[in-house]
Structure formats: C-alpha cells, structure tokens
Structure 1
Amino acid sequence: MRFLILVMCFIPLSLRAEDLSVRDGWAVHKTDKPYVQLVKDTRAAVKTHGMFVVTQAGPTAAAAKRGITIPGNRVIGVFNNDFAVKVLGTSTAAMIEAPIRLYVTENANKTATLSYKMPTFIFAPYKKDGGTELMTLAEELDSIFAKIAKDAQN
C-alpha cells in the first residue's frame, strides 16, 4: 500500500476544469481557435485598438514544470494611460480596477474562449464617486473591448 501511494506521488497529474459559460457582467466569446493562437490574436487585437498589455499571468507553464497538466489559462491585463488619467479624474478608487483583465481559457475540445468582465460592470460600484463621466468612459471601454474580442476571435 505504501508503495502505491509513493508511486502515485510521482505520476503527473492532469486536471480538467469546466469550460467558461456566460455569467452576469461578463462577455464570453467561444472560438474555434486553439489556445495558443487565441492568446496571440488577443494580444494583437489589443494593440490594434490603441490599448496596451500591461500585465500577464497564467499557471499553465508553471504547473507543467511541477508535473501537473492543466488546460491553457492566461489572464491579460489591458489598459492605456489616456483612460487611466480620465478614470482618475472621476474616481481615485475606481483605478483599483485597472488594468481590465481579458481571460483566455482552453476548452475541453482544445478550442479556446476569450472572456472578460465588461467595463460598465467593473466600474458600476464607483458610479457614486465618478458619476456619469466615469460611466461614459466605461461604455467607451465596453466598445473597445468588444472590438478586441471580435478581432481576436476572427
């Protein structure tokens, strides 16, 4: 029995998470693209629409180094200084939400999904501070992020 437990400790793990589905305040774009291609196309679409990748994180490669196989998973933080200055002009507290995160996940069938919380959803709790000016900025960001998603999935 001890031998079996010892052997099990050295067998690479393979974890499977469920595919993302639509949830309140999120935009979820399932694609036919493989994960690596969707990450690449998402980064290109961000640049095309005047935004910048300011952060990136993903556990997939680090897990693989530990012998754990997980689906592709990357969080891409996106913003630009123009929006940062404008948001700060309406609400200091609202800037905690920047950068806005795009989430690329690998599906069970090896396609990938691009998801994100919509900027109007993200900034809604700060409406009291930032007023209609903040929400107008959030609507503009909604439009930009929708264009990024459309370009990334095409």
Structure 2
Amino acid sequence: MGCTRFSVMGGVRFSDKKRIVDFISKGTGESFMSVLEGFYQELKNEWAETGNDIDNFEQNGPKIIIILDNASIHKRQDILEIIKKKMPNLILEFLPEYSPDYNLAELVWHSAKEFISNRLFKSIEELEALVNKLLNEGDLIVNWGRSIKNKGNAINAI
C-alpha cells in the first residue's frame, strides 16, 4: 500500500473551544482561502441565527481575530489582499515565528495524534473519518490545562 498524504487545516475558537477542521488535499493559498471562506460563512450564519440580518454582517457584525502560525500559505500577499476585501470582519494576526506552544490548535492536534498514532488504517478514508469524528464531532477530549513542551518552552492553554 502506498503512502497517501492529506492536510488538516483547523482552528479552535477561544471563547467556547469550538473546533473548526477541514481536510484539504494540498496546503496551498487557495485551499487556505477556501477554508476561510467556509469559516466566514459559518460565522455569518451563526450571527444571523441570533436574529441579526445577515446582509448587515460586514457593517454591524463582530470583528473576528484569527491567530495564525507563519506557514507560507497564510502569508501570501495576494491571498491576504483578497481576504481583506472579501472578509472585512476578519483580523489576521500572526504568532511569533517558531512558537507552536502558543497555538491552541496545536494542543488539540497533539491530543488527536496521541489517539491515532500507532494504528493501522485500511484506507485514507478510514483515517479521515476518525480524525473528523475526533475533531469535528467532539469525540476528542482535550486537556486544556496540559503543557506542551517544544524547544524548551512550555505554556498552559486555558
């Protein structure tokens, strides 16, 4: 059986620890943009479900700060310009370089990797289904008070 790769792009909402995860075949600026567009639409829908007019989201909706690592796909200037125009409520902030300890998504991913490591999967679809169940359906229990050590640094995610 050959080795198949896929990427997982995701995040954690700080306020309620909601996990947002998407599976992509390639980590590109276009796939990053596509995931952000889906996330933005979901936020607009959540806002509308509370009785607000979805057409007024850009003017009256919340500003959403998204904290990103420094992956090159997150920093493509052409993509950043499109995001600024199409999704004005998003504010993109970047973590300091080489600081995955500050990224809540890393805590979630670390817990997921512990759960799925050393298992054999019959197909990439089986692995993807398990990761989806863990991350999107809430089956993964994350110890938010746990320390992750990386390159001698540690923080507690609360």
- Using structure 1 for the length normalisation, give the TM-score: 0.24
Which of the two has higher C-alpha Rg?
A: 1
Larger helix proportion of the pair = 1
Higher relative contact order (CA 8 A, sep 6+): 1
- Using structure 2 for the length normalisation, give the TM-score: 0.24
